[in-house]
Chain A
């Protein structure tokens, strides 16, 4: 089934999210929709899948004009979307989620549904337990469930919005293999939205690039990374330069750390981070990295072992003491832990910086806010509530809240969900602090980021830690294998 959009316009207030976009997608092919955050990719896909109604413009299927204004309507013409955050219902089981929305009678035939589900899962190479509540699945598994569900609904055009954010390398390769099979064997049209160049280069046959709501170009593979970057940003970007590491004194020392969570037990973990050094923590979510970061900033109490900051034993001391010792922390959940939804930008700066008095010095808070907004190039005003900012700008605020020269900076996923340019900017800030003698430790799921910015990498697998002493000597592939549980000797060679 081929789809064509003609002259699509969509505005949100003053923002022209889609500005006269025309594109054609043929069947049996995989299209990459590329663009930095806020380029308008999701908006265009939501219009195609019936979540939004375009202000003007047309959608044609096999040359015939179609109209719909609900997701249900889109499904009926054969278009289905896997949303950025899969739209499933947590407490319902996999099978219930699969059945819900299918054209069944009031009393669904659960046995038949179970068989049909197993069939589809088998064919795509997905392993899903039908009776598991969806809230216990990983994001990758939830995506697999949504894909199966959409296929069962007879979708011929499958849209995936940023599906590779938050899934493991292994799940990504399963996903890509299944998408390729669906396009080649079943002739589905696949629209793959991403801001990650490498994913698009790996998977897609053609690519369309959006920038600031406009279509800036299309290309048929193969194209080079440089060409795509130039299209996305209007210029080629080099990663910020990194000076050779000349580490100073030990800032953080972790001895025989013993910690446990519901998912993992970590024993005898040893870590040492020196001033001016960047240490990356790699591993699938929940392999123990978070236990370590939380213990190093005083947010989790180890069951055994010691945490030393500047040689002082801080084990079991409260977060406040860690702050006083020069530790700064940027949590993974920006809005959940790092920022306070409901407070404005200025109020955030007042909370952290504007003195310890009883009364709020609004004027000073506003001044600080204006300074930081200018310096950190945040798109927002002192009185903007924090939750109205985009993800990239929230991350900038988090950076702006970190004092200029902490002794130790611990960051969880500092650039998750950000486009290349914002990520690069965040790293400039981190490296600047590092050059001034801050010891940096960060977690990331982005292997490129780990390899590019770390001096050393600690790979976590089921609570076991393997050290890669020189991050520059390891390739992304090798790192991927380590994360999946292979030991250093087996593949990479020590």
Chain B
């Protein structure tokens, strides 16, 4: 019943999960104007904390919760030092990247290469039996399903609700948000916390599901930077960001298949998101898109404009002070 292609795509969907969750989390954080540069470190720290907690307690859910809290704390630390201590988000984020990665290595050194609890595969009844799609989408662990729900929810909240208006406004023009009664500081804390927690969940989804266990050096090293690049590639739009995460994972899978027959270096694949990112930025800034848009009907223009918009949130990395 399962075609080879369906199984490959299914594994791409599963393997992309941490990247999808992390880059969506980062998208949320950046859309309120906060840049959490620590992704590469926080992913490793969260993965380690999640694994060790799950191992010690024998409970994968507890591990997930611990990973979530680790990601959340790192993100809040960046915003706190930005708002309360007036430090630069990028500088603090960079330092925390290194610090969190080293901390993960150090604290996790006695827990490497041992089996621990994982999230089991839970086929969804009925849906699992749909030919092809069932294998691709509905034969996974709970974290993969969570990433689907997260994607839909992020898009919906951002573009259809009052909260989404405030979220986007705070990252673009905090002064306008303030004038309309939004508490800019509170909104930033809230969504930075949510974004950071998601990075934590992403980290946990490596060590508790996708690449179960903990190792030195950490297997997900470098993925944080890739997630940051994917956010740019995705133009800070949740759907495009998720597409970027799947695309990159697909390319990585392709490359490792090719590698088994030829000498294709995996290192080159890791450069793919950067190349894609630069190409996208060139495409969007060259005015080519504008010209294309002029040729399409108005409703399509609107959709395209929303989707292809590729400018970072204007207030990204800045501080807001009431005059």
Q: State the main secondary structure of chain B at its contact with A.
A: helix
Contact A106 B161 (CB under 8 A): yes
Query: Known: A72-B181, A96-B165. Is A88-B160 also a contact (CB below 8 A)?
Result: no
* Interface locus among B75-83, B168-176, B193-201, B266-274: B168-176
Contact A90 B166 (CB under 8 A): no
Contact B162 A104 (CB under 8 A): yes
Chosen A-B contacts, 28 in total, with CB atoms closer than 8 Å, are A46-B323, A52-B323, A71-B178, A71-B180, A71-B181, A72-B180, A72-B181, A75-B181, A87-B175, A87-B179, A88-B173, A89-B172, A90-B173, A91-B172, A91-B311, A92-B165, A92-B168, A92-B169, A92-B172, A96-B165, A101-B180, A101-B181, A104-B162, A105-B162, A106-B163, A108-B161, A133-B305, A262-B287
B309 within 8 A of A: yes
For B169, list chain A residues within 8 Å (CB): 89, 92, 100
CA distance A52 to B179 in the complex (A): 12
Query: Of all chain A residues, which has the CB nearest B165?
Result: A100
For B180, list chain A residues within 8 Å (CB): 71-72, 100-101
For A107, list chain B residues within 8 Å (CB): 160-162
A99 within 8 A of B: yes
Q: What residues of chain B have their CB less than 8 Å away from a CB belonging to chain A?
A: 160-163, 165-166, 168-169, 172-173, 175-182, 287, 290, 302, 305, 309, 311, 314, 323
For A83, list chain B residues within 8 Å (CB): 179
A51 within 8 A of B: yes
Contact B323 A71 (CB under 8 A): no
CA distance A96 to B159 in the complex (A): 9
Which of A46, A72, A91, A105 interacts with B168 by CB under 8 Å? Answer: A91
Contact B302 A89 (CB under 8 A): no
Query: Known: A70-B181, A106-B162. Is A89-B311 also a contact (CB below 8 A)?
Result: no
For B314, list chain A residues within 8 Å (CB): 90
Query: Would you give the shortest CB distance from A259 to chain B, in whole angstroms?
Result: 16
For A70, list chain B residues within 8 Å (CB): 178, 181
Q: Mark A96-136, 1 if CB is under 8 A from B, else 0.
A: 10011100111110000000000000000000000101000
CA distance A83 to B180 in the complex (A): 13
Interface residues on A, range: 20 to 34
Query: Of all chain A residues, which has the CB nearest B181?
Result: A72
Q: State the main secondary structure of chain A at its contact with B.
A: loop
Query: Of all chain A residues, which has the CB nearest B163?
Result: A106
Contact B162 A108 (CB under 8 A): yes
Q: What residues of chain A have their CB less than 8 Å away from a CB belonging to chain B?
A: 46, 51-52, 70-72, 75, 83, 87-92, 96, 99-101, 104-108, 131, 133, 262
CA distance A75 to B175 in the complex (A): 16
CA distance A133 to B314 in the complex (A): 15
Query: Would you give the shortest CB distance from B190 to chain A, in whole angstroms?
Result: 14
Query: Would you give the shortest CB distance from B162 to chain A, in whole angstroms?
Result: 5
Query: Would you give the shortest CB distance from B285 to chain A, in whole angstroms?
Result: 13
CA distance A176 to B287 in the complex (A): 37
CA distance A70 to B184 in the complex (A): 13
Query: Known: A51-B323, A70-B181, A107-B160. Is A90-B165 also a contact (CB below 8 A)?
Result: no
Which of B162, B168, B179, B287 interacts with A71 by CB under 8 Å? Answer: B179
For B181, list chain A residues within 8 Å (CB): 70-72, 75, 101
Query: Would you give the shortest CB distance from A403 to chain B, in whole angstroms?
Result: 36
Query: Of all chain B residues, which has the CB nearest A12?
Result: B323
For A101, list chain B residues within 8 Å (CB): 179-182
Query: Of all chain B residues, which has the CB nearest A90?
Result: B172
Query: Would you give the shortest CB distance from A171 to chain B, in whole angstroms?
Result: 21
Contact B302 A131 (CB under 8 A): yes
Contact A87 B176 (CB under 8 A): yes
For A91, list chain B residues within 8 Å (CB): 168, 172, 309, 311
Query: Of all chain A residues, which has the CB nearest B313?
Result: A91
Q: A71-B181, A89-B176, A133-B305 are in contact. List 17 more A-B contacts (CB 8 A).
A: A51-B179, A52-B323, A71-B180, A72-B179, A75-B181, A88-B176, A89-B169, A89-B177, A90-B314, A91-B172, A92-B165, A92-B168, A92-B172, A100-B162, A100-B180, A106-B162, A108-B161
For A71, list chain B residues within 8 Å (CB): 178-181
Contact A89 B168 (CB under 8 A): yes
Query: Would you give the shortest CB distance from B217 to chain A, in whole angstroms?
Result: 40
**Most chain A beta-carbon neighbours within 10 Å: one of B169, B182, B287, B309:** B169
CA distance A88 to B178 in the complex (A): 11
For B168, list chain A residues within 8 Å (CB): 89, 91-92
Query: Of all chain A residues, which has the CB nearest B236?
Result: A91
**Most chain A beta-carbon neighbours within 10 Å: one of B177, B179, B182, B305:** B179
